């Protein structure tokens, strides 16, 4: 069996590469050992956002009186919320399968092993390929905390399928995944404690806006322990105890459930990667060039596996770039304006450089900051909620970074991302006619 492209991994990187290559008329085989869609569709982006949407609807119902609407008694059924999540996932997975089939991609269900750059084994079959795309993704990192092997902790997978509302939840790690689950369970009335080693939640996002979001959630009842190191976890009669140390000394939190969300790391073992002898970076990830090609010509590494960004939309773009290179089309990967979004309520989003990154790089910048209340639509739809839009510019007005707190930041940040990628100036937004009233009009106000 001979193919122009063999792709290992059917997540956003792998299925995008397969679709683009199939559409271009290349012969493609795609190996997936679990479910098409990868982490993103089955246990990441989509399921979390589906749960969070139910939580948002419940929040609106609980606080409907702010908008002069009476809801006698809002309630929820977690079992049904989880069932709806699974339905959404099934629908989207089927959609991907249909798309790939339409483009004549040979989808092979099974665990693939790389024999060499032109040979992949799956089951008893051997597949030959001219180009090899490795898109095997990442896995949850569980830190070696003393006692961790003796407790029944949740990873995101367990949290997504859990149908019983716990009384309390301790979350180790206040990054994006930790905060999205903190937001979800807080909406459902769970007593949530977030333990974070850094001095602020959401490392990598704008620090000022992250602190504002944290203050918002502290008001809603989440307890945050920042600059706090977890030194042990232990099973107790009704759950788990998390022991920690911080500047105030030693302490502990007891909770019915424990969610570990410290981070993710590329999966480098178990599929014959070592047979390719690829050059690695200092961080021990596979080194790739701007075409996503590794040190071995014809072997490309896209998505979480290369360890650069660990986001689904980055994986998608990297896959397009890799296939374009194979097709001889001019294209190159740029990481200048990758949006980062946290789907809490309110949402927080950023693209380009943060103030912290600009300062660390010694780049002079100017800050333009506006309350979201400059947008009439935002005021109409966000009773008693504040938001901020912050844009960072160079001396000549070129947009270097943009950061937003407030709904729907996830939808609006792409406007900033486009400006940053194309090196546009703040005044360029003023040349476009924005629909009125929209929250996006805030960009014309800057
Ligand atoms: C809880 C959670 C929420 C997230 N939310 C977001 C979000 O909102 N937005 C966002 O951009 N990102 C989000 N992410 C990250 C996102 O899911 C990943 O960045 C994305 O899935 C990476 O895509 P990928 O194609 O590189 O790998 P994956 O999606 O991990 O897919 C890799 C696939 O390869 C398969 N595979 C591995 N080895 C083999 C083998 N040997 N043979 C055959 N198949 C193999 C795996 O089964 C898997 O299906 C989230 C992640 C988590 C865990």
The 3-state secondary structure of 381-430 reads HCCCCCCEEEEEECCCCEEEEEEEECCCHHHHHHHHHHHHHCCCEHHHHH
DSSP 267-328: --SSSSGGGG---B-TTSSBP--TTSB-SSTTEEE-GGGG-S---HHHHHHHHHHHHHHHHT
Token code pair at residue 273: 């990667």
Q: What digits encode the pLDDT tens for the residues 62-72?
A: 999 999 999 99
Strand order in the sheet with 239-246: 229-236, 239-246, 249-255
Instruction: Output the residue whose Cα is nearest ligand 1's atom 26.
Output: 303
Instruction: Output the residue whose Cα is nearest ligand 1's atom 49.
Output: 38
pLDDT at 291: 98
139 labelled ligand-binding: no
What average pLDDT does the segment 266-284 reach? 96
The domain tally of the chain equals: 3
Q: Is the same domain home to 269 and 216?
A: no
Q: What digits encode the pLDDT tens for the residues 404-441?
A: 999 999 999 999 999 999 999 999 999 999 999 999 99
> Dihedral of the CA atoms 418, 420, 426, 431 (nearest 10)?
-30
CB neighbours of 404 closer than 8 A, spacing ≥ 6? Answer: 209, 347, 348, 349, 350, 372, 387, 388, 389, 390, 412, 413, 416
| Residue 303 Cβ < 6 Å to ligand 1 | yes
Q: Is the same domain home to 80 and 204?
A: no
What average pLDDT does the segment 304-313 reach? 97
pLDDT at 389: 98
CATH of the domain at 125: 3.50.50.60
Question: Of the candidates 262, 297, 312, which is a domain's last residue?
Answer: 262
Question: Of the candidates 245, 262, 279, which is a domain's last residue?
Answer: 262
The number of the ligand 1 atom at minimal distance from the alpha carbon of 49 is 8
C-alpha–C-alpha distance, residues 51 and 40, integer Å: 14
Q: What digits encode the pLDDT tens for the residues 343-396?
A: 999 999 999 999 999 999 999 999 999 999 999 999 999 999 999 999 999 999
Cα distances from 390 to residues 344, 370, 423, in angstroms, run 18, 6, 17
Among residues 283, 319, 281, 275, the alpha carbon closest in space to that of 300 is found at: 319
| Residue 16 Cβ < 6 Å to ligand 1 | no
| Residue 13 Cβ < 6 Å to ligand 1 | yes
Pocket test for ligand 1, best of 6, 8, 9, 322 (most atoms within 8 A of CB): 9
C-alpha–C-alpha distance, residues 111 and 123, integer Å: 7
Residue 7 · residue 123 · CB < 8 Å: no
Q: What digits encode the pLDDT tens for the residues 324-344?
A: 999 999 999 999 999 999 999
Among residues 368, 348, 10, the alpha carbon closest in space to that of 174 is found at: 348
Give residue 51's pLDDT band: very low, low, confident or very high (50, 70, 90). very high
Among residues 120, 382, 148, the alpha carbon closest in space to that of 276 is found at: 120
No. of helices (H) and no. of strands (E), the chain: 12, 21
Q: Given the DSSP bridges, would you call strands 191-195 and 223-225 parallel, antiparallel or unpaired?
A: parallel
Token code pair at residue 442: 């805030």
CA 427 to chain CA centroid, nearest Å: 31
pLDDT at 381: 96
pLDDT at 191: 98
Q: Is the same domain home to 28 and 110?
A: yes
Residue 286 maps to a domain: yes
436 among known catalytic residues: yes
| Residue 175 Cβ < 6 Å to ligand 1 | no
Residue 248 maps to a domain: yes
Q: Is the same domain home to 101 and 179?
A: no
Pocket test for ligand 1, best of 312, 317, 333, 414 (most atoms within 8 A of CB): 312
Segments forming the whole domain that contains residue 11: 2-140+265-327
Q: Is the same domain home to 180 and 247?
A: yes
What average pLDDT does the segment 221-244 reach? 97
Q: Is the same domain home to 280 and 136?
A: yes
Q: Is the same domain home to 274 and 252?
A: no
1 pLDDT higher than 90: no
As a whole-number percent, the residues of the chain with pLDDT over 70 amount to 100
Question: Of the candidates 327, 355, 380, which is a domain's last residue?
Answer: 327
216 labelled ligand-binding: no
177 labelled ligand-binding: yes
395 labelled ligand-binding: no
Q: Is the same domain home to 129 and 163?
A: no
| Residue 266 Cβ < 6 Å to ligand 1 | no
| Residue 338 Cβ < 6 Å to ligand 1 | no
CATH of the domain at 425: 3.30.390.30
297 pLDDT higher than 90: yes
Give residue 228's pLDDT band: very low, low, confident or very high (50, 70, 90). very high
Residue 335 maps to a domain: no
C-alpha–C-alpha distance, residues 108 and 285, integer Å: 27
Residue 333 maps to a domain: no
Token code pair at residue 330: 């001019």
Residue 377 maps to a domain: yes
The C-alpha R_g of the chain, in whole angstroms, comes to 23
| Residue 310 Cβ < 6 Å to ligand 1 | yes
317 pLDDT higher than 90: yes
193 pLDDT higher than 90: yes
Residue 334 maps to a domain: no
Contacts 24+ apart (CB under 8 A), 211-220: 212/386, 212/388, 212/405, 213/179, 213/342, 213/344, 213/346, 213/348, 213/405, 216/346, 217/179, 217/182, 217/183, 217/186, 217/344, 220/186
Q: What digits encode the pLDDT tens for the residues 151-177?
A: 999 999 999 999 999 999 999 999 999
pLDDT at 188: 98
Residue 347 maps to a domain: yes
The number of the ligand 1 atom at minimal distance from the alpha carbon of 264 is 53
Write down the pTM of the prediction.
0.97
C-alpha–C-alpha distance, residues 67 and 438, integer Å: 19
Q: How far is the CA of 37 from the centre of ligand 1 (A)?
A: 8
Give residue 273's pLDDT band: very low, low, confident or very high (50, 70, 90). very high
180 labelled ligand-binding: yes
Q: Is the same domain home to 36 and 55?
A: yes
136 labelled ligand-binding: yes
| Residue 7 Cβ < 6 Å to ligand 1 | no
């Amino acid at each position: 069996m001979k193919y122009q492209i063999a792709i290992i991994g059917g997540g956003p990187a792998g299925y995008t590469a397969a679709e683009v290559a199939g559409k271009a008329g290349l012969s493609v085989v795609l190996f997936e050992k679990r479910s098409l869609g990868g982490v993103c569709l089955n246990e990441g982006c989509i399921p979390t956002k589906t749960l969070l949407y139910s939580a948002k609807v419940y929040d609106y119902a609980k606080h409907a009186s702010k908008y002069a609407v009476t809801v006698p008694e809002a309630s929820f059924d977690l079992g049904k919320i989880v069932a709806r999540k699974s339905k959404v996932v099934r629908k989207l997975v089927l959609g991907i399968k249909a798309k790939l089939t339409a483009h004549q991609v040979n989808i092979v269900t099974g665990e693939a092993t790389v024999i060499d750059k032109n040979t992949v084994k799956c089951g008893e079959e051997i597949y030959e390929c001219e180009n090899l795309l490795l898109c095997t993704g990442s896995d949850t990192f569980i830190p070696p905390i003393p006692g961790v092997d003796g407790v029944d902790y949740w990873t995101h997978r367990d949290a997504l399928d859990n149908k019983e509302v716990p009384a309390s939840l301790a979350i180790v790690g206040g990054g994006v995944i930790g905060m999205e689950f903190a937001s979800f369970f807080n909406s459902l009335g769970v007593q949530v404690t977030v333990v974070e080693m850094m001095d602020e939640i959401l490392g990598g996002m704008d620090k000022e806006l992250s602190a504002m979001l944290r203050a918002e959630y502290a008001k809603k009842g989440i307890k945050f322990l920042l600059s706090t190191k977890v030194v042990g976890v232990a099973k107790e009669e009704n759950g788990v105890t998390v022991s920690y140390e911080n500047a105030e000394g030693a302490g502990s939190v007891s909770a019915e459930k424990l969610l570990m969300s410290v981070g993710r790391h590329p999966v480098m073992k178990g599929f014959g990667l070592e047979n390719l002898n690829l050059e690695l970076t200092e961080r021990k990830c596979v080194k790739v060039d701007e075409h996503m090609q590794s040190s071995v010509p014809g072997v490309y590494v896209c998505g979480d596996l290369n360890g650069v960004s660990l986001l689904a939309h980055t994986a998608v773009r990297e896959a397009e770039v890799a296939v374009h290179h194979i097709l001889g089309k001019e294209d190159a990967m740029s990481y200048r304006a990758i949006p980062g979004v946290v789907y809490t309520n309110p949402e927080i989003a950023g693209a380009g450089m943060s103030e912290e990154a600009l300062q660390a790089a010694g780049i002079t910048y100017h800050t333009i900051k506006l309350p979201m209340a400059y947008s009439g639509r935002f005021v109409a739809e966000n009773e008693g909620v504040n938001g901020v839009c912050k844009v960072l510019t160079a001396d000549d007005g070129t947009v270097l970074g943009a950061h937003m707190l407030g709904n729907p930041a996830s939808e609006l940040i792409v406007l900033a991302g486009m400006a940053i990628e194309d090196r546009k100036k703040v005044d360029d937004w003023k040349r476009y006619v924005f629909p009125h009233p929209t929250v996006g009009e805030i960009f014309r106000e800057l």
